[in-house]
Amino acid sequence: MISAQPKTTALPRPYTISGDGKHQILLGGKASTFRPRITYRGPHVIRSVISSGDSKSGVETAEKIVESNGSLGLSSNSSGGINVRAVIKIRKKMKERLTEKIEDQWESFLNAIGKGILIQLISEDIDPATKSGKSAESFVRGWLPKLSDNPYVVEYGADLIVPHDFGQPGAVLITNFHDKEIFIMEIVVHGFSSPIFFWANTWIHSKKDNPESRIIFKNQAYLPSQTPAGIKDLRREDLLSLRGNRKEERKLHERVYDYDIYNDLGNPDKSDDLVRKVLGTEEWPYPRRCRTGRPPTKRDPDSETRIEKPNPVYVPRDETFEETKQNTFAAGRLKALLHNLIPLIASKLSSSDIPFTNFSDIDDLYKIGVLLKEEEQETSIKDLFIAKVMNQVFTVGDKLLKYEMPAIIKRDRFAWLRDNEFARQALAGVNPVNIELLKELPILSKLDPEIYGPPESAITKEIIQRELNGISVEEAIKDKRLFIIDYHDILLPFIEDMNSLPDRKAYASRTIFYYSETGILRPIIIELSLPSTPSSPRSKTIFTHGHDATTHWIWKLAKAHVCSNDAGVHQLVNHWLKTHACMEPYIIATHRQLSSMHPVYKLLHPHMRYTMEINALARQSLINGGGIIEACFSPGKYAMEISSAAYKSFWRFDMEALPADLLRRGVAVEDPSVPGGVKLVIEDYPYAADGLLIWSAIKELVESYVEHYYSEPNSIASDVELQAWWDEIKNKGHEEKRNEPWWPKLKTQDDLSNILATIMWTASGQHAAINFGQYPFGGYPPNRPTLMRKLIPLEGHPDYEKFLQSPEFTFLTSLPTRLQATKVMAVQDTLSTHSPDEEYIHQLDQIHRSSFNDPQVQKLFENFSVELEEIERIIEQRNKNINLKNRTGAGVPPYELLLPSSAPGVTGRGIPNSISI
């Protein structure tokens, strides 16, 4: 005997509940709390017992006889139909307020009596009378035994009678008569030759919010041309419901996917200082975001009004964080709040923000944290909210105020000072995607010389020659030993504006590296440029490492400016733009143009999880006017303009595949005999070496998958949904790039495989490689300062003598202040954190089990998981190989960012399927 006891509600008044004519339940008298109980007594009888909270007060029972042939299998009834049962699995909230618990009890009661959820089963066969799929419907009734130990999952059943010629079910329509939405995990229909699964994992809106029923298709992939006749109209109807009409402001319960420009970054109604450029125009192009339909601001009709935190920004309902993710992110936000608030109060108490003045100040962030003296709290904190937060801080204890020791200094506190570590991070750090082969001299700018001065770099052949220890420049170029990280053209147009901001001083930079015969990469020359002026038409300064004390410290300052530029380009271009922002149009187009039955939709679905929600949160708090990025990175209020300029000049879809990017940068050459089809110029390039293993596994999976579904000639070109999807990505999702000649065609299996592999790599491996190392590398401010506050004091500079007297003080006071550093460290810590409910790339076979009923497809994903396990083993072996100096050695942290698996937290490893943080 199996029993389950979902909670019900306290009834506000006497009720008479009529049954099906055979029995009646009378619930009268005073209001009572009812606890429904189902007792399963074999295949024929289900006894529903409704009892009051007082077990001695008696029991009213209602017994429903279920005529069956011994099980939930195929059975007939006296009317000549077939008895089937639909079992619906619903997930409850983990944390509920008292009112929500009462609502849940009431909902359970309504479901018990058949008034809460209506299920309509639709056949794949056409009904000749209606010219649509045959249907049968019933409300869910009673409670089924729980099939798992999960206390947050309940199951209900609905009994239906379908005719003998009903055929196979292809879809279920759900109508939710409750006052609030419900989350349906899965529906299983019993009574046919075998159970039929309808994977849902979706929020079902209340009928009062939207009278239309939700359509859920069974776990079967169909190309549009293969769609069974009975559900063809439903396929079209479901897609139309997701597209909206571009008129109304979107409501939080809706599931409408549409495009808009980035016109919500500024807040002109609040302040002139918060006016920002609209991105998504011919002048300032950008990928599209999800449309919310909010009204325009009063002062600028082209800008959209903002929703400020903690109020949620609209994203389609199923794109929002699930509860575990919400709790994790909330904890991260709390931690960030504490880290932001304490320095903020401290800065107000001292009337100005405080710079670091010695390295012990930075070390204290990890040892004792950021604290206020108790007497300062009592005399200075007047705001009640701040006082409450401070009380919470000190009640919880000092631990919340401390930062974890970042990986970059955990093994070797002084590694960041060395040139070889500076170079190593160009290959194995958090931003290992900008180093390129130096192919020719002179180095030329592509900027307009009429505006930006002579195009030639100040790095000449002669200067390089002096740093090569006897090897000729020609030989070094021929042997592929010279490399460059060039941030000149992307930054120079903005340097004047950036340097006009308070406490911001930046250069446009170029850095030359030499790859020695012993396999060591080292920086040899740095060029720092300022905009040309009438008095200084060529403001380009060359720095080399030198050997005396003065040039040694000057070289440190030059490297710090390069690192600051690297941090900005990483965050604004490689991280935000190329992964987060560019994925959003793919996600929108996938939902608008590909049915959830489409095999490409099913393949991509795990790689879209949470991305739109994290992007909306970023627009609200990180990349917005006055947000964390502007406050803590060199570009300040011009940050997103730089991101737009990079998109305009450098972004190409066909270069986002890893092998194509490596070839473009000259750090690899074509070689069909190795993974990814390319051979690395620098063998010990951890990001590229490990990335090519992941890329090759993804590509192999996708090629087999595409071959499985598109084996027929012309099947890709004739797939109307697929072609509309690709057209919309190009023409709407990236509207300003729509006429570019480099967009791949979509006609062949190879075309589709390359497109899908690029999207999947971007969402998984590429994002993981440049995201989850943010705190391990950036958590120590001197290693990756996100801004610099002073230009380098060269001879003749007013501060040159102060620099000679105290170079450490000059260096540290050029870095971000304590407030700026602790702010960005808190954000990096949050962004580097894996949620407990994260789904990783090696788990795809488990995730897709509920999406496919095709054993061949499931075998593809199982093989993929096995291959990723082998890749993890290979990477771990590489991290023990003493010949690979960029991942092993004294104090050198292993390269783990592309290991597929991870535990929760800040681990510096793990590849989630999607951009979820």
Residue identified by tokens 């009112």 is 99
Q: How far is CA 785 from CA 337, 566, 774, 781, in A?
A: 21, 9, 12, 5
- Please answer whether residues 841 and 911 qualify as being in contact, where contact means their C-beta atoms are separated by less than 8 angstroms: yes
Q: Which residues pair with 139 in a beta bridge?
A: 118
Residue identified by tokens 């079967």 is 220
**Catalytic residue list:** 575, 580, 767, 771, 917
Rounded CA-CA distance 895/186 in Å is 40
N residues, the chain: 917
Q: How far is CA 336 from CA 223, 269, 333, 818, in A?
A: 46, 27, 5, 14
Q: Which of 249, 292, 287 is nearest to 620 (CA)?
A: 292
Tokens matching residue 553: 């410290």
- Please answer whether residues 325 and 916 qualify as being in contact, where contact means their C-beta atoms are separated by less than 8 angstroms: yes
Side chain identity at 74, as an amino acid letter? L
- Please answer whether residues 167 and 84 qualify as being in contact, where contact means their C-beta atoms are separated by less than 8 angstroms: no
Q: How far is CA 241 from CA 176, 237, 269, 316, 830, in A?
A: 17, 6, 34, 12, 35
Q: How far is CA 562 from CA 275, 565, 679, 792, 864, in A?
A: 29, 5, 28, 12, 40
- Omega prior to 855 cis, within 30 of 0: no
Residue 718 exposed, middle or buried by CB count within 10 Å (0-12, 13-18, 19+): middle
Rounded CA-CA distance 794/526 in Å is 15
Side chain identity at 581, as an amino acid letter? A
Q: Which residues pair with 302 in a beta bridge?
A: none
The DSSP 8-state label assigned to residue 219 in this structure reads: S
- Tell me the helix, strand and coil percentages in the chain, rounded to 5: 40, 15, 40
Q: Which of 584, 624, 615 is nearest to 306 (CA)?
A: 624
**Greatest CA separation found in the chain?**
103
Residue 839: half-sphere exposure toward Cβ, Cα within 13 Å: 19
Q: Which of 622, 615, 590 is nearest to 603 (CA)?
A: 590
What is the DSSP annotation of 713-755? TTTTTT-HHHHHHHHHIIIIITGGGTT-TTSPP-SSHHHHHHH
Q: Where are the alpha helices (H) located in 350-460, listed in sequence order?
A: 359-367, 374-380, 384-396, 407-410, 419-428, 449-452
